[in-house]
Structure 1
Amino acid sequence: MKTFSPRFRKALPVLLITAALALSLSAWGLWKYRFFRLEAPRKPLCINELSVSSLATQVGGSTIYEDYIELYNPNNNTISLDGLYLSDTSDYTLAPLPDVTIGPGAHLCIYAAGQDGSVPEGQLSVPFSLSENETVSLTRLEENTAGTASAVLLDTVYIPDSMKIGAVYARTEDGGEIFAQMRPSPGTANQEAALVLEDPTFSQPSDFYEDAVSLQINSSSGTTVHYTLDGSDPTTDSPLYSGSLTLMDPSSHSDRYASRTDITEEDSGYLPPDSPVDKAVVLRAVAFDAAGNSSNITTATYFIDFDQKDGYENAAVLSLVTDPDNLFSSETGIYVRGALYDDAMEAGLIYNGLPWTYLTEYTNYYLEGAEAERPVYIQFFDASREETLAQDCGIRIRGNESRHFPQKSFSLYARSRYGSSSFSPVFFDTGISYPNLILNSGRQLKKIFFFSLVEDRDTAIQQYTPCQVFLNGEYWGMYYLMEKYSSEYLAGHYDVAPDNTLLVKDTRYVENGSPQDIARYKELRTFLAEQNLADPDVYQELLTKMDMQSFIDWMCTNIYIANTDTKPLGGNVLTWQTLTPENDAEGDGRFRWMLYDLDDSLAVGTDLAATPAYAFDSFTGHSAYSELGFLDDDPLPALMKNEDFRRQFVLTFLDMANESFRWEHVKALLENLEEQHAWADTGWMRWNTAPQTGTFEEQTAELHTFFEHRAEYIIPMLAEHFGLQGPLVDITLSSVPDKQGSIKLNTISPDLSETDWTGQYYTDYPVSLQALHAKGYRFVRWEIENGEIVSGDSEHKKIEVQLNADTRITAVFEKK
């Protein structure tokens, strides 16, 4: 009997397992072959270049902001795309290609724009986008002898992670085997494109320093480094780094950007600061090699000796860095009047004294859309001076009239082409990663203060963070970094699917969602205009289309604060809905309202010399640039015919007057703003060499006066316009220890944990009350003085009470 060596016997189990695995793979391959097989080795049509985050790349006369795929024909014959497919999933036939041809040695670029990407007319596209750490395949289908189609893999490319900003993943030579991160070269030979080198690094991070900062710039072997200190993009003409740098506080240096006067109209009266503004050091560096390849820009901001400067203690700080031409070039700068304005003035097409509305076509800062977006690098330092965010993004000027103000507001856009499609959730306590943010100038306190008054109501508001902003190292003033309404905002605040939401701006434009879904909002507007809303059945059907409490909260807020530049079915309003119902709360598919653009509150545009803002009748009054007040404009005339609406409106208005806008509540919030005083004063001094706005103290005093007196004027106006006949009486809710329970009055839940609560209501409508017991307690009964229960009884948790005079209501709880 034959024997085997010990060494062979030891290896036998491994050999048997290997053989079994080989047989299994062979059997699988025979079965799998009818669906998929590799192309025989030869030069096929190949995937030559993949753009994961395009930075405005020129392709065939068009500017690409989307991902793209470049195909290359390395053969000597023309190849048709008919029957070929591109895919980024295991479904190799995801995107069939059209019947077009690629000639010998030719390139063809195809947009990978996803479902909603924009594709110029006449350009090819596929319905998916590209991302890091995924595989893109090019296949064709062939019919085999069994009569079934099998997928033949022509080429496949895996996109690695850690792609550099502005780089494509491409073959270093057309049709070659080696891939690298390169500068885009769509439609041209890859061997002519530059490589993307590793970014240089700084030995000292962005931070706040008490003294001068010494640092080194490190880069890859064989490279040289050029740097700038003015925010401009470094080139080979910039200073050459040759050793350590010592950075000093530059605040005493002359201003480069704050000294400009072309940031508003010639006759605006604006004067730049009369002494140098505070400054940080902005260091930017790029590595170059002998072949002309370069890295991306490394940027850092150094705040030196800021402990010795006023206006920054405990303040969040935001640094904006961009090449100066992006903002201040006469041709391309979005912050300045620009060459077109100068040419039009010289030609007599425009002249000093024209209103801003006549200049929008002649000024750079009124550019809108993609052509008005510029790249910017942002760094955010929280109140403890910790850098919590640093990333590239896009920046645009925002607003309408405010675009011609010297201190302009901005919109910030996170996009994959800048490196990230969202901002990390570090600015607010929402936990939301926003795709866009608003950076509102700090010139008006009221535009953000009102949000804090109604944050518990059923109308959406925007959270905000005050911060001191530096532009290319120069102090640019106090700003409010704010949430921007978006599908991500809705998903984060209301727990709905972002792709299941429709966001409509000014009742005419789809802000987020599919443009064709504007028809859904038009349907609501048609219903409001054509149906008899006095009919109870029709009104009940309307309540399935819109959240009436959200609408009324939005109306009451704007009326109370005397906002003269918004209409419920007009401008400066946002509405939203879920496309298909998800739940019985905000995701029920009904339209809801969002507070937006409150700049013209406090009766702007009216004769304030004759009637102070707090006495303005904003139910029917209106500004000089508007024809109708709220109650006279659609859809209020139709809604006012319905008694259920009138009751809900009156009770909600009084709820908000007694709670949201209660003077003691407003006064406490105004006192909390005192922390911003030093920050705002520093910002005011930056922009008001020739005063353009009121000081922080003047603005808080204006709000103080308005809210201290508003109720005594606006509540009688409510009675007049709604035909209320009963007296205005007090309702007092007795205090309830919070460990026992609480009381809900109509739409509010007053704090009864320590003291009684008193509000004023007209007797025309009964009020609703609900007792809410705490854990371990139960509700026993209601005790009511000078009021009559008209729905329910004293032992029901939910009741309605008719007020006959000043009324006291007590909810009695006891331990279980």
Structure 2
Amino acid sequence: MRRKQLLSIIAAEAIMASSFSACTNNTNNQPQSNSTTVAVSVSDTASNAATTTASDNSYNLSEATKTTPEKTTIQTTTTAPFTLEDPLLVFDFSGNEPSITDVHFLTGDAFISMKAPLGATIYYTTDGSTPSEESTKYSEAIEFTTSMSSEPATLVLKAVAYYSDGSASKVATRTLFNRKKIDKRITIPIFAISADPAVLTEAPDGILTGKNYELCGKESEREVYIEAISPDGKTIFEQGAGVRVYGAASRAASIKSLKLFARKKYDEKHGKFKIDLFDTPGADGDVINKYDKLVLRNFGNDFQFAFIRDELNQNLAKKAGYTDYEGVIPVVGYINGEYYALYYLHESYCDDLLKDKYGGDLGKYEVVTGKETEITIEEDDEENAAAATEFNEKYSELAYSDLTDDANYQKLTEFIDVENYLNNYALNIYVNNFDWPQNNYKCYRYYAAEGEEYGEGATDGRWRFIFHDTDYSLSLYGQDITQPGYNNLELIMKEGNEHYSPLFTALMAREDTRNYFLTEITRLMNDVTSYTGIVETLEAMNKERGKELDYYFDYLERLKATDSSIWTNVWNFNERTGYIMDFAGSRKEKMQGFLIKQFDLPDDYFLQK
């Protein structure tokens, strides 16, 4: 990296040089601006024997390469080849709190250094663990060699300063990535998670080892540090947080889904994740930019197949004009500096997100899950359990009633938003989501505060339904039950099987609600879920993550050497993506036939639409 490039991302040259030259005269015990300076230099000169030119490998989905990333060199040195005019300060412990330079990407061999007051001692780790006086004592610059492979070299640096008065600074954390032409390699955001390996990746307690993924709830949560990094290497957010393994059957997969929790007990200054990349509109008209929870999703049932089905359906729901979908963006996950996964980052519905999205600051939203005929009762959450119990009781009362009776139907319209419910059914039925509604059923309602009147829309106190975990669809696995020719509409309306929905069946007995459903599913099949609609959305999403998909398959190829559960490859991915396209091409005609048969419609019904 040349000098003018380097100076654009660091503090002023004169300040750094001044700090270094004055350090020997500082005899005070407290942090001061005249401090011992330690810095990073990056050399890209041909004369530097440690610097080599790495070609930017060209990847495509037609060929999975087997490049093994070069190990990062980390060592101390007494001959750091930098000048006082070219420091890249990473950690500065001279203030009341550590100051961290907003740099994550390097493009050449570097010497990493830190700065602290005279009399202070810096200790650091590079394995993700929290540094202490038992950790490596900082004395000289740390060499960080650039990667020669497709994957950047990484360095997870955590440091703490112990002052002469016995006090200690807060721990400072920075994950660095080093590769020639790194801007050509990183094209989507990175989520770099670091923590003591003992709580994440090492037996017996690491939640990513053995069968510890079976742990659920609070006992499974581990404290970590998260750095969300944009493709240009700048920080989106960074903070202490909690993490749990997430999902149901997919928890057993080699690559885990992770749920992230922003809590002040982990980071007193950051009770939210500040991120606006979902472009989800809020009640105030602005894009929502803060979240209590986020999910790094491993594609669920679609892991090792097309790696996209649920996220594709979420985007189809968004394009259809529905609002109760999960915003998704592709990201890369690193754990303690090791490449871990290509993910989709999901919004996670909770009270605060719903308030930001729909308003209703005085009351509370409850989100419940389970199956349609029996929502799960969460015994450790009294208010949520009460909401789930209320839903189950009301559902049992109304779903089995005669909804052609206007009095009964009126009661139902006070219980749920019927149009929202039917919209949810239209899309789930069309994409043939087989793992629903007997599973992955998610809904919410607003409870007004004492003395507060219910409002309009989502604050009216009625239940509404969220598109959630829809990956068992769109010809997944090539099974008959997910194929475009499978009549899941008939299944949902036929008593005696787990997919049966008494409420939907009762609603279809009413002419007005049946006509609404027919109009809505016709709108979908002629627009966002038409062949063109699905394929255009699919191709745009794969283009967005396309380069990272290439590297992900390279990574999965390497995993096969030590993990027999990984079997997929680029050929399989292309074939399974083709299944989605074939589904999109055939479903409309099949669906029209199912609707004509189920509701005894004229043969030319859809020709009239």
CA contact 1:201–1:218 (8 Å) conserved in 2: no
State the SS of the aligned residue for 1:522. Answer: helix
State the SS of the aligned residue for 1:714. Answer: helix
State the SS of the aligned residue for 2:291. Answer: coil
Q: Provide Cα deviations, 1:544-580, integer angstroms capped at 9, x if missing partner.
A: 211111111111111111111121xx42111111223
The reply on whether 1:229 has 2:126 as its aligned counterpart is: yes
Task: Give the equivalent residue in structure 2 for 1:680.
Answer: 549
Using the TM superposition, give the Cα deviation of residue 642 of structure 1 relative to its aligned residue in structure 2, in angstroms: 2.4
The reply on whether 1:303 has 2:303 as its aligned counterpart is: no
Unpaired runs of 5+ in structure 2?
Answer: 1-94, 280-286, 561-565
Rg comparison, structure with higher value: 1
Query: Which one of the candidate residues 325, 330, 333 is aligned to 2:203?
Result: 330
Query: Which one of the candidate residues 464, 484, 488 is aligned to 2:352?
Result: 488
Task: Give the equivalent residue in structure 2 for 1:465.
Answer: 329
Task: Give the equivalent residue in structure 1 for 2:316.
Answer: 453
In structure 2, how many angstroms separate the alpha carbons of the residues matched to 1:694 and 1:634?
42
The reply on whether 1:692 has 2:567 as its aligned counterpart is: yes
Give the direction of change, closer, same or farther, for the CA distance of 1:416–1:549 in structure 2 (3 Å limit).
Answer: same
In structure 1, how many angstroms separate the alpha carbons of the residues matched to 2:351 and 2:183?
40
Using the TM superposition, give the Cα deviation of residue 485 of structure 1 relative to its aligned residue in structure 2, in angstroms: 0.8
Task: Give the equivalent residue in structure 2 for 1:728.
Answer: 605
In structure 1, how many angstroms separate the alpha carbons of the residues matched to 2:249 and 2:322?
29
Using the TM superposition, give the Cα deviation of residue 514 of structure 1 relative to its aligned residue in structure 2, in angstroms: 4.4
State the SS of the aligned residue for 2:489. Answer: coil
CA contact 1:250–1:281 (8 Å) conserved in 2: no
Give the direction of change, closer, same or farther, for the CA distance of 1:332–1:293 in structure 2 (3 Å limit).
Answer: farther
Task: Give the equivalent residue in structure 2 for 1:416.
Answer: 264
Q: Provide Cα deviations, 1:478-511, integer angstroms capped at 9, x if missing partner.
A: 1111100111221222233373322112122468
Using the TM superposition, give the Cα deviation of residue 309 of structure 1 relative to its aligned residue in structure 2, in angstroms: 8.6
Give the direction of change, closer, same or farther, for the CA distance of 1:380–1:612 in structure 2 (3 Å limit).
Answer: closer
In structure 2, how many angstroms separate the alpha carbons of the residues matched to 1:374 and 1:620?
45
Query: Which one of the candidate residues 369, 372, 377 is aligned to 2:225?
Result: 377
CA contact 1:441–1:479 (8 Å) conserved in 2: yes
State the SS of the aligned residue for 2:521. Answer: helix
- AA matched with 2:433: N
Query: Which one of the candidate residues 580, 584, 592 is aligned to 2:456?
Result: 584
In structure 2, how many angstroms separate the alpha carbons of the residues matched to 1:445 and 1:719?
31
In structure 1, how many angstroms separate the alpha carbons of the residues matched to 2:518 and 2:489?
12
| TM-score (ref. length: structure 1) | 0.55
> Which structure 2 residues correspond to residues 389-400 of structure 1 after superposition, within 5 A?
389-400=237-248
Q: Provide Cα deviations, 1:313-363, integer angstroms capped at 9, x if missing partner.
A: 4322221111111112322100010xxxxxxxxxxxxxxxxxxxxxxxxx2
Give the direction of change, closer, same or farther, for the CA distance of 1:225–1:573 in structure 2 (3 Å limit).
Answer: same
Using the TM superposition, give the Cα deviation of residue 306 of structure 1 relative to its aligned residue in structure 2, in angstroms: 5.1
In structure 2, how many angstroms separate the alpha carbons of the residues matched to 1:512 and 1:710?
43
CA contact 2:330–2:342 (8 Å) conserved in 1: yes
In structure 2, how many angstroms separate the alpha carbons of the residues matched to 1:237 and 1:664?
61
Task: Give the equivalent residue in structure 2 for 1:555.
Answer: 425
- AA matched with 1:447: D
Higher helix proportion (structure 1 or 2): 2
Q: Provide Cα deviations, 1:599-639, integer angstroms capped at 9, x if missing partner.
A: 2113558843xx771211111348xxx97365x33323333
CA contact 1:227–1:238 (8 Å) conserved in 2: yes
CA contact 1:411–1:436 (8 Å) conserved in 2: yes
The reply on whether 1:284 has 2:158 as its aligned counterpart is: yes
> Which structure 2 residues correspond to residues 196-345 of structure 1 after superposition, within 5 A?
200-201=98-99, 204-249=101-146, 278-289=152-163, 293-305=167-179, 307=181, 312-337=185-210
In structure 1, how many angstroms separate the alpha carbons of the residues matched to 2:121 and 2:99?
13
The reply on whether 1:428 has 2:302 as its aligned counterpart is: no
State the SS of the aligned residue for 1:333. Answer: coil
What fraction of aligned residue pairs are identical, expressed as a percent?
24
Give the direction of change, closer, same or farther, for the CA distance of 1:612–1:227 in structure 2 (3 Å limit).
Answer: closer
In structure 2, how many angstroms separate the alpha carbons of the residues matched to 1:446 and 1:530?
33
Using the TM superposition, give the Cα deviation of residue 423 of structure 1 relative to its aligned residue in structure 2, in angstroms: 0.8
State the SS of the aligned residue for 2:326. Answer: coil
CA contact 2:292–2:353 (8 Å) conserved in 1: no
- AA matched with 2:385: P
Query: Which one of the candidate residues 298, 311, 314 is aligned to 1:441?
Result: 298
The reply on whether 1:717 has 2:594 as its aligned counterpart is: yes
Using the TM superposition, give the Cα deviation of residue 542 of structure 1 relative to its aligned residue in structure 2, in angstroms: 1.2
- AA matched with 2:497: L
Whose relative contact order is higher, 1 or 2, with alpha carbons under 8 Å and at least 6 apart? 2
Using the TM superposition, give the Cα deviation of residue 379 of structure 1 relative to its aligned residue in structure 2, in angstroms: 1.1
Give the direction of change, closer, same or farther, for the CA distance of 1:512–1:462 in structure 2 (3 Å limit).
Answer: farther
> Which structure 2 residues correspond to residues 99-178 of structure 1 after superposition, within 5 A?
none
CA contact 1:487–1:512 (8 Å) conserved in 2: no
CA contact 1:487–1:499 (8 Å) conserved in 2: no
Task: Give the equivalent residue in structure 1 for 2:580.
Answer: 703
The number of aligned residues is 478
The more displaced of 588-597 and 655-664 is 655-664
In structure 1, how many angstroms separate the alpha carbons of the residues matched to 2:310 and 2:104?
31
Structural RMSD (CA): 2.8
In structure 2, how many angstroms separate the alpha carbons of the residues matched to 1:372 and 1:287?
31
CA contact 2:145–2:153 (8 Å) conserved in 1: no
Query: Which one of the candidate residues 633, 637, 662 is aligned to 2:501?
Result: 633
In structure 2, how many angstroms separate the alpha carbons of the residues matched to 1:218 and 1:487?
43
Using the TM superposition, give the Cα deviation of residue 221 of structure 1 relative to its aligned residue in structure 2, in angstroms: 4.4
In structure 2, how many angstroms separate the alpha carbons of the residues matched to 1:499 and 1:505?
20
Give the direction of change, closer, same or farther, for the CA distance of 1:465–1:605 in structure 2 (3 Å limit).
Answer: closer
- AA matched with 2:202: S
CA contact 2:148–2:179 (8 Å) conserved in 1: no
Task: Give the equivalent residue in structure 2 for 1:593.
Answer: 465
CA contact 2:160–2:169 (8 Å) conserved in 1: yes
Give the direction of change, closer, same or farther, for the CA distance of 1:405–1:278 in structure 2 (3 Å limit).
Answer: farther
State the SS of the aligned residue for 1:249. Answer: coil
CA contact 1:206–1:301 (8 Å) conserved in 2: no
Using the TM superposition, give the Cα deviation of residue 462 of structure 1 relative to its aligned residue in structure 2, in angstroms: 0.7
Task: Give the equivalent residue in structure 1 for 2:32.
Answer: none
- AA matched with 1:223: A
In structure 2, how many angstroms separate the alpha carbons of the residues matched to 1:543 and 1:284?
56
In structure 1, how many angstroms separate the alpha carbons of the residues matched to 2:594 and 2:296?
37
Higher strand proportion (structure 1 or 2): 1
| TM-score (ref. length: structure 2) | 0.73
Query: Which one of the candidate residues 498, 502, 516 is aligned to 2:366?
Result: 502
Task: Give the equivalent residue in structure 2 for 1:17.
Answer: none
CA contact 1:459–1:551 (8 Å) conserved in 2: no
Using the TM superposition, give the Cα deviation of residue 680 of structure 1 relative to its aligned residue in structure 2, in angstroms: 1.4
State the SS of the aligned residue for 2:219. Answer: helix
